[in-house]
Amino acid sequence: TMSVHGTSGVWHTASGVHLGMSLLQLEQVNGGPFKFRSLGTSEDAGRILDWQGGKLARPFARVRLTLASAFHAPGYSTLNDEEHAMVEKAGLSVGSDDPLARKLNPLVETLELSF
Say if residues 46 and 68 touch (Cβ distance below 8 Å): yes
pLDDT tens digits in sequence order for the chain, 115 residues long: 889 999 888 888 889 999 999 999 999 999 999 999 999 888 899 999 999 999 999 999 989 999 999 989 999 999 999 999 999 998 899 999 999 999 999 999 999 988 7
pTM: 0.92
Of the candidates 47, 22, 18, the one whose C-alpha atom is nearest the C-alpha of residue 35 is 47
Q: Is 115 helix (H, G, I), strand (E, B) or coil?
A: coil
Of the candidates 71, 59, 78, the one whose C-alpha atom is nearest the C-alpha of residue 48 is 59
Say if residues 111 and 41 touch (Cβ distance below 8 Å): no
Alpha helices in the chain (DSSP H): 23-30, 81-87, 99-104
